[in-house]
Amino acid sequence: MSALIRRYAAELCHKRMLKPNYPTLVLTCHVSTRVAPQLNGAAATTGLYGFDHLKNPKGFQRFVDDAIERSGELVNYISSMPSSAEVVRAMDEISNTVCCVVDSAELCRNTHPDREFVEAAGKASMRINEYLHYLNTNHTLYAAVKRAEKDGHLLTKEAHRAANQLRIDFEKGGIHLPPEKLARVNQLNLSILQLSREFGENITIDPGYVDIFPASRIPKHIHHLLKPIHRFTSGTSSGSLGSWNNMKEKGLRITTDHRTLVSVMHWVSDEEVRKMAYIQGNSVPHANLEVLDKLAAARHELAQMMGYRSYAEFVVKPNLASSPEVVISFLHEMSKMVRPRADEEFEAIKNFKREKCGQRCIDLEPWDETYYTAMMKSSAHNLDSSIVASYFPLPQCIEGLKVLVNSLFGAMLCNVPMAPGESWHPDVLKMSLHHPEEGDLGYLYLDLYSRKGKYPGCANFAVKGGCRISETEYQLPVVALLCNFSGSPGSSTVRLNHGDVETLFHEFGHALHSLFSRTDYQHFSGTRVALDFAEMPSNLFEYYAWDYRVLRTFAKHYSTGEIIPEKLVKSMQGARDMFAATELQRQVFYALADQTLFGEQPALPNDMSSILAEFKMQHTSWKHVEGTNWQIRFSHLVNYGAGYYSYLYAKCFAATIWKKLCQEDPLSLTAGTALRTKVLQHGGSKEPAELLNDLVGEGILKHCDGGIVPDITCFLEESRYKMLCHVEDDRARNGRVTATDQSPEVVKVSCPGSPVEFEKNSTII
C-alpha cells in the first residue's frame, strides 16, 4: 500500500517508462488492484480487464462507490483493534481495493479509444484520489499501524516490514504534523497530482509541428509518418507568358512528437529541415514551463514542511543512495570520467560533417547528432537499418520473449482468449505466464501498436498486484505492456528496428518482475521496490536483445526464414559501441539536471531554463540552442522527480549481474532460477542490497557516506565503455580512484570524503 499510491518507473533514456501512479499520497497503489476471477470459456461477458463494473463508462462511478464502501468496512474493522497481523492484512486489503480503481483508471485514461471511457476514468481517478486523502489522514489507521510495528508477535519478517513501511509512508503524508500543516500538505499533494497530469496532457495536446515545402525535402520512406499538406503559389501558365495562375504545391507537416522527431533527425539530409524540427520539438508545449516551475515549487514546499531540505532529499532518503549528496557525488564522478571520451566523439562527428559538406559547415549543431552518427555507424559497420529490421518481424520478437521465459524459468507464455468486454482495443493480446508444475503465475496484456490518443511512449501499467489471500489461494498479478510500434497486426510489414526490440525486452523485464512476484502483501508486489532498484531487471533484459546466442533463437528473416547472421549482429554491436560515451554523458546530464531542479532552492527564484542551459554546456560536449527547453517534454522530471539517477544505478547493477551470472550461458535455467528465486519473487519485501548481494555476492555495490552506490567495475569492462578506463587509470594514479587487483585496465570509482558541490561557474571546455 505505500500506504496506498507509490510510483516508481521507467523508459530507457527518455523513451521507456514503467508507468507510475502518483507518489505524493501516503496510501499508495503502484502495482496493485483486485481483479475479478478469471473467466472460463468465452460465453460469459465481463468488463475492462475482467472487472464486471467496467462494462460501460458509467461503471467507473459504481467501481469507486464499491471501493469506498468496502474500504470503510475495513477501516471499521481495524478500529475494533484486532491482532497486529490482522491489522496489516486489512490495511493491505484496503490498498488492494482502492488501487484496483486507481490502476484501471490510469490504464483506461492512457489507452482507451472511446472518449466516454477516458473521461469517466479521469473522473474516477480524481474522486478516488480525494478519498485517499481521507485514508492518509485517518489517525485510527495510523495508530493501529504503529501498534502493529511495535508488536513482537507478528509472525513473519515481511509482516514486520509491511507495518514499518506503512508507518513511514503515513508520516511521509504528514499525518504526524499539526492540523494546519497537515491541511497544507494535503493541498500540496493535490496540486502536485493536478500539475503532473497537466504536464502530460500538455505534451499530448501540443506536440508541435512544422510545415515543409516542397515535400521532396523529406525522404519518401518516412512520408507515411507525416501529414500531407498543400499551399497555393503563383506562377505563369503554359498558355501565355504574361498570365499568372495559382499553382498547388505539395508539402508535409512534421508533427514533432518524440517518435516522429527521431525519424526526421535520423533520415532528413536537409539541415534546415532538421533545425526547424529540432527547435520546434524542444520548444513545446510552452505551457509546461509554468507547470514545471509550479511543480518544483510545490514539491520543494512539501519537502520542507516534512522536515527535509529539498524534494530531492525527501525522495532519495528511503532508497539505496540515501541522500542527494551521495547521488551527486556518483554522478559527478561519472561526468568527469566520461567527458574526455565524449569530447573525442564530438570532434569525430564534427570532422565527419565537414568531410561530407565541406568547410562551409563550421559548427556541429544538436540537430546534427542523430543524422551524422547514424551515417557514421552505417559506414563503419556496413549497416542498413532496413536489412536489420527484416530479421525482427514483431511476431518473431514475441516468440523471443517466449524463448526467454522457457529457457530461463522453465515456464511458458501462452496466448489466452479474452472474455467479451475485457479488451479495450482489437489489437490487444492477452498471455498467461504458465509453469508446468505451478500452474498460471500471472497475466500479461500486450498493447503494442501506435494509435491516436494512446499514451505515446512505452510503459508498463499495473492492473493487479500479487498477494496471498489465504493459505491455499494467491491473487495472481496482471500487468499491461504498452509500446507504440508502427503498423497493425494484420500487416505483414510490421518489422522492428533493433532499438524497438531492445525497448520491448526492457519493458518485458519490468513485466516479469511483477509476474514472478510472490509476496504475501501486494504492498510489496513486483516493482514496488526502492526507486533506484526498480530499473535493474529491465536493464538486465536489454542484454538478451544484444546477445547472438539469444537472437539466433528467434530473429529470422520475415520472408526467407533465414536466421540472423552472426556477422550482422557483430556489426550492430560495433555500431552501438561507437558513441557510447556521448549517450552515457547525456544520461548523466539528465540525472544531474533532475537533482538540480528538485534540489535545495536559492533564496531568490532563478530562471530554471537558464540554469539548465548553462548546465548542459558544463556537463555535455554539445551547445544549448537559445529558446529551446528540452525539460518541458521530459516526462521523467514529473514521473521520476529527483530519481532519474536510478537508470544509471540500474545499468551498473545489471552489468555486474550479466557478467557474473548470465554472460557465460544467457539461456541457462540455473541462472534464470537464481534470478527468479533470489530477486524477482521477493518484490519489495526485502532490502534491495540484501537481494543484490544474495544474487551475485560481493562486488556489486559499495557503501558511501551512509548510502549505497553501484560498483562500476563490470560496467567499465564492457566493450562499449572500455575506452573510459584509461581516463580512470590516470586519475587513479592521483588517488582519485582505486584500481582492481583483477584487471589493471579497470577501476572502481572511489567514494570522496565530502560531497561534490555544483560548480556553476566552472570553465566550459
Chain center to CA of 421: 29
Please report, to the nearest 10 degrees, the dihedral formed by the alpha carbons of residues 444, 445, 447, 452 taken in order.
-140
Of 193, 207, 182, 582, nearest to 369 by C-alpha is 582
471 three-state secondary structure: coil
The contacts of residue 216 (CB under 8 Å, 6+ apart) are none
Can 728 be counted among the known catalytic residues? no
Between CA 742 and CA 5, with CA 322 as vertex, the angle to 5 degrees is: 125
Choice among 149, 502, 507, 535 that is catalytic: 507
658's grid cell: 550479466
The DSSP string of 479-501 is: EEEEEEESS-TT-TT-B--HHHH
Kindly state the cell numbers that stand for 420.
Answer: 467479451
What is the 3-state composition of the chain as percent helix, strand, coil, each rounded to the nearest 5?
Answer: 50, 10, 35
Residue 460: count other Cβ atoms within 10 Å of its Cβ. 29
Residue-wise over 171-203: b if at least 16 C-beta within 10 A, else e? Answer: bbbbbbbeeeebebbbebbbbbbbbbbbbbbbb
Handedness of CA 718, 719, 721, 727 (dihedral sign): positive
**pTM of the predicted model over 0.75:** yes
Residue linked to cell 530531492 = 312
Sign, Cα dihedral of 230, 232, 236, 237? positive
CA distance from start to end of the chain:
48
* SS3 label, residue 78: helix
Q: In the prediction, which pLDDT does 238 show?
A: 52
Rounded CA separation 561/493 (Å): 14
Calculate the dihedral angle through the C-alpha atoms of 439, 434, 88, 689, rounding to the nearest 10 degrees: 130
Which of 355, 426, 339, 371 has the alpha carbon at shortest distance from 621? 339
Q: Which three three-digit cell numbers place residue 599?
A: 534540489
**If we measure between CA atoms, which residue out of 422, 445, 442, 425 comes closest to residue 433?**
442
Phi, psi of 308 (to 5 degrees): -105, 155
Which residue type is seen at 5?
A: I
* Full strand arrangement of the beta sheet holding 439-449: 16-17, 458-464, 478-485, 439-449, 429-435, 412-415
- Residues in the chain predicted with pLDDT less than 50, given as ranges, are 1-42, 242, 727-728, 730-765
In angstroms, the CA 505 to CA 503 distance is: 5
- Dihedral (Cα; 276, 281, 283, 285), 10-degree rounding: 140
pLDDT at 726: 54
Strand ranges (DSSP E) for 88-243? 209-212, 227-236
Of 451, 350, 400, 450, which Cα lies nearest the Cα of 553?
A: 400
